[in-house]
Structure 1
Amino acid sequence: MERTNEQFENLLNRYLDKSCSLEELKELFSYIDLPEYRERLEMVMDENYKTLVPGVEAREINWDEMFSSIVEDKEKRKVRSLWSVWMPIAAAIVVMLSVGVLIWANQQQKKQKTSTASVKKDIAPGGNKAVLKLADGTEIVLDGHSTGILANEDGTKISKTADGMLLYDAAKSDGDETLAKNHINTLTTPSGGQYMLILPDRSKVWLNAESSISYPSAFSGEERNVTLVGEAYFEVAKDKQHPFKVKAGAAEVEVLGTHFNIMSYAEEGQTQVALAEGSVRVDLGNNSRTLIPGQQASVKVGSTQISLRNVDIDEVTNWKNGLFQFDNTPLEQVMRQIKRWYSVDVVYQGVKPDLYITGMISRSNNVSKILALIEETGGIDFEIGDKQIIVKKAKGGTHD
Structure 2
Amino acid sequence: MNKEIENIIVKFLISSANEEELDQLGVWLKTKENVKLFGEYIEINYALDVNFNEFDNKNVKNALSEKIKQESSVFYKYKVYNVLKYAAVVLLFFGLGFIFKEHFFETPVDAIPEIVNTNISVEPGTNKATLTLEDGSSVVLEKGGAFQTQNANSNGEEIIYNKTSQSVTEVTYNYLTIPRAGEFFIVLADGTKVWLNSESQLKYPISFVEGETRQVELVYGEAYFDVSPSELHNGTTFKVLNNAQEVEVYGTEFNIKAYKDETNIYTTLVEGKVSVGTAGVKQNLVPNQQSNLNMIDGNMTVATVDVMSEISWKNGVFSFNGKSLKDIMKVISRWYDVDVIFENSELETITFVGVLGKDQSLKTILETIKTLSIIKNYEINDKTVRLN
Which TM class, normalised by the smaller chain length?
Answer: 0.7 to 0.9
| Ranges in structure 1 where 5+ consecutive residues have no aligned partner | 53-80, 393-400
Aligned to 2:367: 372
- Worse-matched range after superposition: 275-284 or 116-125: 116-125
**Aligned length, in residue pairs:** 350
Deviates more, 1:377-386 or 1:125-134: 377-386
Deviation track 1:268-308 (CA, whole Å, cap 9, x = no partner) reads 21000001111111111321111111111100112332211
**Pick aligned residue for 2:385 from 356, 372, 389:** 389
Deviation per residue, 1:94-132 (Å, 9 max, x gap): 699997834736799522313434432120101001000
Task: Provide the residue aligned with 1:311 in structure 2.
Answer: 305
Q: Is the CA contact (8 Å cut-off) linking 1:315 and 1:327 kept in structure 2?
A: yes
Out of 190, 214, 219, the residue aligned to residue 224 of structure 1 is 214
Structure 1 residue 172 corresponds to structure 2 residue 165: yes
Q: What are the Cα deviations for residues 210-230 of structure 1, in whole angstroms up to 9, with x where unaligned? A: 000001100115211111110
Distance 1:94 1:222 in 2: 52
Q: Once structures 1 and 2 are overlaid, which stretch shifts more, 374-383 or 307-316?
A: 374-383
Residue of structure 1 aligned with 2:200, choices 205, 211, 230: 211
Partner of 1:72: none
Q: In the TM superposition, what is the alpha-carbon distance from 1:173 to its structure 2 partner?
A: 1.4
* Contact 1:95/1:102 (8 A) holds in 2: no
Q: After superposition, what is the alpha-carbon deviation per residue over 1:12-67, rounded to whole angstroms, capped at 9, x for unaligned?
A: 444487816269979x979979x999435652325646999xxxxxxxxxxxxxxx
C-alpha change, 1:185 and 1:85, in structure 2 (3 Å) is same
TM-score normalized with structure 2 length: 0.79
Q: Helix, strand or coil: the match of 1:317? A: helix
TM-score by length of 1: 0.76
Aligned equivalents of 1:31 and 1:119: distance in 2? 28
Residue in 2 that maps onto 1:89: 87
Are positions 1:188 and 2:188 aligned together? no
Match of 2:352 in 1: 357
Q: Aligned pair in 2 of structure 1 residues 227, 12: CA closer, same or farther (>3 Å)?
A: same
Q: Verify the 8 A CA contact 2:254 2:269 in the aligned structure 1.
A: yes
Q: Is the 8 A contact 2:84 2:357 kept in 1?
A: no
**C-alpha displacement of 1:148:** 4.7
Gaps of 5+ in 2: 29-33, 69-78
* 1:105/1:377 contact within 8 Å kept: no
Aligned equivalent of 1:110, options 88, 97, 107: 107
Query: What is the alpha-carbon distance in structure 2 between the residues aligned to residue 100 and residue 141 of structure 1?
Result: 34
Report the secondary structure of 2:292's partner residue.
Answer: strand
Deviations 1:325-346 (A, max 9, x none): 0011000000000110000111
Distance 1:10 1:190 in 2: 36
Identity of aligned residues (%): 28
2:81 and 2:315 in contact (8 A); partners too:
no
* Counterpart for residue 141 of structure 1: 140
Q: Secondary structure at the match of 1:316?
A: helix
Partner of 1:288: 282
Note the C-alpha offset of 1:146: 3.0
Match of 1:76 in 2: none
Larger CA deviation: 39-48 vs 119-128: 39-48
- Matched to 1:232, the amino acid is A
